[in-house]
Amino acid sequence: MRVALLVTCLGDTMFPEAPRAAVTVLERLGHEVAFPRDQTCCGQLHLNGGYRDEAVALSRRLTGIFGGFEAIVSPSSSCVGAVREMNAEIAPRVFELSEFLVEQLGVEDVGAYFPHRVTYHPTCHSLRVARVGDAPLRLLGAVRGLELAPLPEATECCGFGGMFAVKNADTSTAMVADKCRAILETGAEVCTAVDGSCLMQIGGALGRQQTGVRTMHLAEILAS
């Protein structure tokens, strides 16, 4: 299948290792990956910030850019959610990576080997907006060498929330403090998720506290 990658502005600029890993996984499974260069941002930042008109205009750009592809895959559930919210035309063809692998391709074992203790944080938008269900856990369950440590109070928000992390920095910090405590309880070396933005929040706090626990996007584990 020819798959177009929606890398997202944050993925492109801040954590390109995640979309690169997505390319690796999809190609390993025999699919052709395209990267339409005119893509920039899906509009989520403006939507959540209260600039709906600008957000909708940015989302509409995607229609032409991704027009010809039968599947559009993204390593970010919140951006997938934003596309589904604002662009009805391409919405039926947009998938978060793990849901694409499990639900669309019917694959759980992507041939990965990752001999580490890992805990998985189900991000709010993956659970309640993109609704990827347990697809990430099924993929992690098939990774060779990986020891999955269940995260206590897993469905609690990490406190990112886009602008929220800055506008309400104190509350956001209180939330990520609890998230870090839960992660540390698991004894995991790595905390993974399907949203790079939430991982920036969690990783930023784990790093500041010198916990020695690192964050990795799910795609990176699947590509290893």
Partner 1 sequence: MTSFPEAARVALGDSQLRHNLRNATTTIRDKRARVVAEVPDWDELRDAGRAIKADVMSRLPDYLVQFEAAVEAAGGRVHWARDGAEAAAVVAGVARAHGADEVVKVKSLTTDEIELNERLAREGIHALETDFAELILQLDGDWPSHILVPAIHRNRSEIRDLFVRTIAQGRRLSDDPRELAETARLYLREKFLSAKVGLSGANFGVAETGTIVVVESEGNGRMCTTLPPVLVTILGIEKLVPAFGDLEVFLQLLPRSSTGERMNPYTSLWTGVTDGDGPQELHVVLLDNGRTRVLADEVGRQALHCIRCSACLNVCPVYTRTGGHAYGSVYPGPIGAILTPQLRGVENARSLPYASSLCGACYEVCPVRIDIPTVLLHLRAEAEKTVAERTAFRALARVFANPRLYERAQRLARLGDRPARHVPGPLARWTRTRELRPPAKETFREWWSRERGA
Applying CB under 8 A, which residues contact partner 1?
Answer: 7, 9, 11-17, 19-20, 35, 37-41, 43, 45-52, 54, 57-58, 61, 124-125, 127-129, 155-157, 159-176, 200-201, 203-205, 207-208
Cβ-based nearer residue to partner 1, 98 or 172: 172
For 49-126, list the strands marked E by DSSP. Answer: 71-74, 94-96, 117-120
Cβ-based nearer residue to partner 1, 47 or 146: 47
Cβ-based nearer residue to partner 1, 80 or 143: 80
Residue 3 beta carbon to partner 1: minimum distance, rounded to whole angstroms: 14
Tokens 């929220």, residue located: 164
Whole-number Å distance between alpha carbons of 206 and 20:
24
Residue 105 beta carbon to partner 1: minimum distance, rounded to whole angstroms: 22
Residue 39 beta carbon to partner 1: minimum distance, rounded to whole angstroms: 8
148 secondary structure, DSSP code? E
Residue 211 beta carbon to partner 1: minimum distance, rounded to whole angstroms: 11
At 149, give phi and psi (nearest 5°): -105, 120
Cβ-based nearer residue to partner 1, 29 or 200: 200
Residue 131 beta carbon to partner 1: minimum distance, rounded to whole angstroms: 10
Cβ-based nearer residue to partner 1, 12 or 108: 12
- CA–CA distance from 32 to each of 25, 72, 154, 197, 223 (Å)? 11, 12, 34, 26, 16
Task: Say what angle helices 52-65 and 77-86 make with each other, to 10 degrees.
Answer: 100
Whole-number Å distance between alpha carbons of 123 and 125:
6
